[in-house]
Structure 1
C-alpha cells in the first residue's frame, strides 16, 4: 500500500506526542546499515512510483518513527541519524531538511553539511536548501568551491521572479569578508554576461558597505554595459544621493525619464526628488505621468493629493484621494486627508465622518485628536468625554494615549485644577506610567509648580535612569525657575551624554551655562542648538545671551529670522519685551 510520506510524517509526529513516554524503542534490524553511518543499502531504497511518491517499506516507517521518538526524548544525535537514513531510504527531502536543522541545533557543522548536501540532491530546486548549504560550506572553509551552487541559486530565483544575485549576496555576506564576497560575486557575474542584475547586486552591496567609490564604479559599469536597462540609472541615482549629490541624481533621472518615459520606478524617483527640491508643479506633472503608467496602483494618486493640498488646490486634492480610496484600498490614509479637506472647508460633520473611518495606520492618533477638537467646537463636549472613556475601555493598550488626549482637551477648555485632577486619576490607575508622570511634570512646570515637576521627573528617572528627556526637562526647569544651577547642570550633562546631538538638550546646556555666568560656553552650546534646530525658543535664548554679551546686532538678526517666519512668536517677543527692545 502506498501513502503520502508527508502524511506519515504528520501521523508519526502526532503518535509520538501521546506514546513517546511509554513506547519501547526497538533496535534497528541487524540487516540494515547503522543510521549513524548515514550509508543506506541501495538494495533497500524505496522505489518511487509515478508521481514521485515512494512506496513505504518497513525500514522507512521504522526510521521515521524512531527519529520522531528520539527527537521527543531529546536524543538529537539519534534523531539526526534516523532522519538522515529516512531521507536516503525514501528519497524525501523533508527528512533531509529535518536532519539538517537538527545538526544546526546541535551545532555540528560536518553533520549539517552532510544533511544539507542530501537535501539539495533530493530537492535541487529548493532555494533555501541551496543557500543554507552555501553558508555552511563557506563557514567551514572560505575557499571551498561553491560557484555551481551560486549559479543554481540565480537560476532558481529567476524562476521565482526574484533577483538571484541579491539572494546570493545575502548568503555569502554572512560568512565572507567584504573583499572575498565581492570577488566571489564578480566571478558569478561573469557567468551571466548578459544579465544586468549581477552588476546591480554588486552596486547594492557596495552601497550597503558605504563604499561609495566602489558603488559608483559598479553602477557606471552597469549603465555602460546595459544602457537599455532602466534600473541601472535608478541605482546610479541612489549612489549619487548617498553621497549627497542631489543635483547629479536629478540630472541623471531627468535624462533617464526622457529615455524611458513609461518606467514607473524612474518616474517615481524623479518626481520625489522634485518634491524634495520644492518644485511642486514639476513634481505634480511627473506624478500625473506616473498615474497613467500605474493605472490601478495608487501611489501616484497619494502623492498627487499631497502636492495639490500643498498648492492650495483642495478640490483637486479631494479628487485624488477619492481615487486612492477607490483603487488602492488605502482607506485610512485617504480618509484622513479627505477629513482634513472637509475640515478646511468648515464641513465639520463631513470631516468627522471621514476621521472616524481612520481605523489604523500612521494617521489614526491625529485623526482621533481632530475628532475630539471638532466635537468640542460643535458643542459636543460631554459626548467627547464619554467617547474618550469608551475608547479607554475598548482599547486598554491605548489607555495612556486617551488620557493624554483628555488632558489636552481640558488644557484648552477646562481649568488647571481640572487638568491636575485628571492627571491624578490617570496616574492613580497607572502609577508606573513614565509617559503620564513625564506629562504631568511638564504641565506642572507651566503652572510654576516646580515641586510637582521635580517629584514626577525624579520618579521617571528612578524608573528609567537613561530617560534623557526627563533629565533634560528637570535640569532646564531648575536652571530657568530656581537658583539650583549646579544641580541643574548635573542633570543636563547626564542627558547630553545620552543624546549628544539633541538640539533641545544643547539649548538647555547653553541656558544653564548662561545662568552660571559662563557666557562663552553658553554661546557655543546655543549656536550648536540653533544650527541644528532654528526654532523660536532656541532663538530667544541665543539672542538674549548675544544681547547681554554686547553682540546686539547679531541678537536682532537671530530674532528677526524667527519673526519673519512667525511674527507672533511669543518666545522671541517675550524676551524682547523683558529686555525693553
Structure 2
C-alpha cells in the first residue's frame, strides 16, 4: 500500500507541474481534472469541514478513487497557497489510506498555518499510523505541551525512551531536548522527574537531568542532580563523570580531580573516566602521571586514537622522542589524526637532523591546523639542503594544484625568498602574486608590512589603504598603517586616527594598545602613553612592547623602572634586538 501511495504522490507532483504551467492561478481547468478517478463530485474541503476521526481498522484499504483525489487535491491546494484546504485533504487521505506520510504532511501544514489544535490532531494520527517513529512522538509531545503544559504526555515520553533504546540512544536526553524548549525549567524538571520514577533502575534519566541543569548553567541544581545520581547508582561510572564536569564548570579543579581519582580506582577500565582524569593531570602539568593514565587508556582503546595522540604530545614534552614517535606511528596505523601524526613525526625527524625524512613527513600533512607550518618547514629544509629550486618548484605545483590556496603558497614562497633572496626579489614576487590575485587582502597586507621593513612607507600606505577600502573593519591593517605613520613619519595626528579606529574594533589587543601608547608618546602625551603601554605589556610582555614602555619611562624620569623592564627581557633573550636598539639609541 505504501509503495502505491508514494507512486501516486510522485505522479501528483508531475501532474501539478504540468497544470501549473498551463494555469498558474485560478481553478484547475475541467480538462485537467477529468482524468482523476472519482466516484462522485467531492465537496470542497476546508478547515471547517467535519472530518471523521480514527484510523482505518486492521487491513489497510486498497488505493481508491477517494484516496487518490484527496492526495492530489491536497497537493494542488498547497501549490496554490490554499493551505487550509490542503490540510483538510491530506488529513482525509491519511484517514482513508492509513498512510503516515500523508499524516506527516497534514501535521506540517497545520504547523505552517500556526493552528495548534489541528497540528496536535494530525500529529496524533501520525503517531497512530507510525507508532515507532521517534520524530512523530517528539513532535506530538512538543505540540501537546504548546497547547497545555499539563498535557497527558507521560506515556508518550515513556515510549520515546523505549524507541530510543532500540536505536542505541539515550531516550531521556531526547525527551529533555523535546520538553526543555516548551516548558519553564521547573516544569520541565518536574516532568522529567516523573519520567525517571517510571524507570527506577535506569541511571540515564538522572544523568539527563544533571546535563540539562549544567547546560543551563544552574550549577547548584546540576550538582544536586549529579549527587542524587551517584547516590542512587554508585556503580554507574558516568555519574562520577557528570559530577566532575559540574565541579569543573565551577572552576573547582581540585574537587574534580579528587573525585575522578577515586572513580578511576573503582572503575579502572572505564575509558571515559581515564580520559577525563588524565586530561586534568595534563592541565595540572603533572605529565608523568598523566602519561601513565593515557597508557592504560591506550591498552583499552582498540580502535580509538585519542590516547595515542596525548601520549605522543606528553612524550615530546618529557623529552622522550622515541616513545613519542611510536605513539604517532600508531596513530597512522589506526588512520586517526594522520595530519597531526605526520606533522609531529616530521618535527622529531627534523630535531634528529634527518632532514630528508622530515620533509617527507611534512609533505604528508594535507589538512588541519598544522598544514601551513608543515609546508613552511618543508620548504625551509629543502632550501637548507641546497634544494632551493626544488622548493620553489614544489610551491608552484601546489599553487597550480590548489588554486583556491594560491595566496598562502605565495606567502610561503615569500618567506623562503626572504631567507634565500634579496629584497628586490621579494618585492618582485609580491608584484607577481598581487598581479595574479589583485583583490587578495592577505597578499596586500603582507606586502605592506614587508615594505615597512624596507622603509617604503609609500608602498605600505598604498597597499593598506586598499585593504581598508576592501574591508573597513580590518583592524590589523588600520593598526599597521597607524603605527608605521607614527614610527616613520611626522604624520602623528593622522596615525592616531587610524589606531583609534583599530582599537575600537579590538579593544583588548596588546599590539594595538602598544601602538596607541607609541603614537601618544610621539604626540608628547607621555603619561597617557605610559597607561596604554602598561596595559599592553601586562597582556603581552614581549620585547617590542618592553622597548617602547622602557623608552617612555626613561624619558619621563622613571629610569629604574625602565632598566628593570629591559633587564627582564634580556634575562630571557640576551640578544633581543628591540631592547638593545633602544638602549643604544639612548646611549645607555
Calculate the TM-score normalised by the size of structure 1. 0.90
TM-superposed CA distance for 1:290, in Å, is 0.5
CA distance in 1, matches of 2:98, 2:182: 30
CA distance in 1, matches of 2:185, 2:503: 35
TM-superposed CA distance for 1:304, in Å, is 0.8
- Check conservation: 1:3, 1:56, Cα contact below 8 A: no
CA distance in 2, matches of 1:553, 1:236: 51
TM-superposed CA distance for 1:16, in Å, is 4.2
- Point out the more displaced range, 62-71 or 83-92: 62-71
CA distance in 2, matches of 1:189, 1:531: 51
1:175 and 2:185 are equivalent in the alignment: no
Which residue in 1 is equivalent to 2:414? 407
TM-superposed CA distance for 1:571, in Å, is 2.4
- Check conservation: 1:48, 1:55, Cα contact below 8 A: no
| 1:407-446 equivalence runs, <5 A | 407-446=414-453
TM-superposed CA distance for 1:401, in Å, is 1.1
TM-superposed CA distance for 1:287, in Å, is 0.4
CA distance in 2, matches of 1:90, 1:489: 75
1:65 and 2:72 are equivalent in the alignment: yes
Which residue in 1 is equivalent to 2:32? 24
Secondary structure of 2:268's match?
A: coil
Q: Residue 174 and residue 378 in structure 1: after superposition, are their counterparts in 2 closer, same or farther (change >3 A)?
A: same
TM-superposed CA distance for 1:515, in Å, is 2.6
TM-superposed CA distance for 1:123, in Å, is 1.8
Which residue in 1 is equivalent to 2:25? none
- Check conservation: 1:116, 1:133, Cα contact below 8 A: yes
TM-superposed CA distance for 1:330, in Å, is 3.4
Corresponding residue to 1:36 among 46, 56, 59: 46
Which residue in 1 is equivalent to 2:106? 99
1:508 and 2:515 are equivalent in the alignment: yes
Secondary structure of 1:36's match?
A: coil
1:480 and 2:490 are equivalent in the alignment: no
Corresponding residue to 2:154 among 137, 147, 151: 147
- Check conservation: 1:2, 1:55, Cα contact below 8 A: no
Which residue in 2 is equivalent to 1:316? 323
- Check conservation: 2:417, 2:425, Cα contact below 8 A: yes
TM-superposed CA distance for 1:338, in Å, is 1.8
TM-superposed CA distance for 1:316, in Å, is 1.2
| 1:181-260 equivalence runs, <5 A | 181-260=188-267
Which residue in 1 is equivalent to 2:5? 5
- Check conservation: 1:46, 1:57, Cα contact below 8 A: no
CA distance in 1, matches of 2:374, 2:386: 18
- Check conservation: 2:53, 2:95, Cα contact below 8 A: no
Which residue in 2 is equivalent to 1:555? 562
Secondary structure of 1:384's match?
A: helix
TM-superposed CA distance for 1:326, in Å, is 0.9
The one-character-per-residue Cα deviations of 1:120-158 (angstroms, maximum 9, x if unpaired) are: 222222222222233333344445443333333333222
1:163 and 2:167 are equivalent in the alignment: no
CA distance in 2, matches of 1:391, 1:169: 49
- Check conservation: 2:2, 2:99, Cα contact below 8 A: no
- Point out the more displaced range, 375-384 or 138-147: 138-147
TM-superposed CA distance for 1:301, in Å, is 0.9
- Point out the more displaced range, 172-181 or 404-413: 172-181
- Point out the more displaced range, 286-295 or 23-32: 23-32
- Check conservation: 2:467, 2:474, Cα contact below 8 A: yes
Q: Residue 205 and residue 42 in structure 1: after superposition, are their counterparts in 2 closer, same or farther (change >3 A)?
A: closer
CA distance in 2, matches of 1:269, 1:368: 33
The one-character-per-residue Cα deviations of 1:292-341 (angstroms, maximum 9, x if unpaired) are: 11122111111111111222222111111111111244332222222222
RMSD: 2.8
TM-superposed CA distance for 1:226, in Å, is 2.4
CA distance in 1, matches of 2:217, 2:515: 34
| 1:498-537 equivalence runs, <5 A | 498-537=505-544
The one-character-per-residue Cα deviations of 1:337-394 (angstroms, maximum 9, x if unpaired) are: 2222222222222222222222223322222222222222222222222222222222
1:136 and 2:146 are equivalent in the alignment: no
TM-superposed CA distance for 1:500, in Å, is 1.9
Q: Residue 263 and residue 577 in structure 1: after superposition, are their counterparts in 2 closer, same or farther (change >3 A)?
A: farther
Which residue in 1 is equivalent to 2:27? none
CA distance in 2, matches of 1:199, 1:210: 17
1:367 and 2:374 are equivalent in the alignment: yes
Q: Residue 243 and residue 566 in structure 1: after superposition, are their counterparts in 2 closer, same or farther (change >3 A)?
A: farther
Q: Residue 104 and residue 537 in structure 1: after superposition, are their counterparts in 2 closer, same or farther (change >3 A)?
A: farther
- Check conservation: 2:61, 2:96, Cα contact below 8 A: no
CA distance in 1, matches of 2:113, 2:533: 57
| 1:272-351 equivalence runs, <5 A | 272-351=279-358
CA distance in 2, matches of 1:9, 1:253: 57
Calculate the TM-score normalised by the size of structure 2. 0.89
CA distance in 1, matches of 2:6, 2:256: 53
Corresponding residue to 2:384 among 377, 384, 387: 377
Corresponding residue to 1:462 among 469, 474, 492: 469
CA distance in 1, matches of 2:173, 2:359: 47
- Check conservation: 1:47, 1:55, Cα contact below 8 A: no
TM-superposed CA distance for 1:18, in Å, is 5.0
| 1:69-84 equivalence runs, <5 A | 69-84=76-91
CA distance in 2, matches of 1:211, 1:481: 54
CA distance in 1, matches of 2:336, 2:11: 42
CA distance in 1, matches of 2:172, 2:2: 41
Where structure 2 has 5 or more consecutive residues not aligned to the other structure, the ranges are 23-30
TM-superposed CA distance for 1:93, in Å, is 1.4
| 1:566-577 equivalence runs, <5 A | 566-577=573-584
CA distance in 1, matches of 2:442, 2:474: 11
TM-superposed CA distance for 1:3, in Å, is 4.9
TM-superposed CA distance for 1:536, in Å, is 2.5
Q: Residue 399 and residue 99 in structure 1: after superposition, are their counterparts in 2 closer, same or farther (change >3 A)?
A: farther
CA distance in 2, matches of 1:545, 1:194: 70
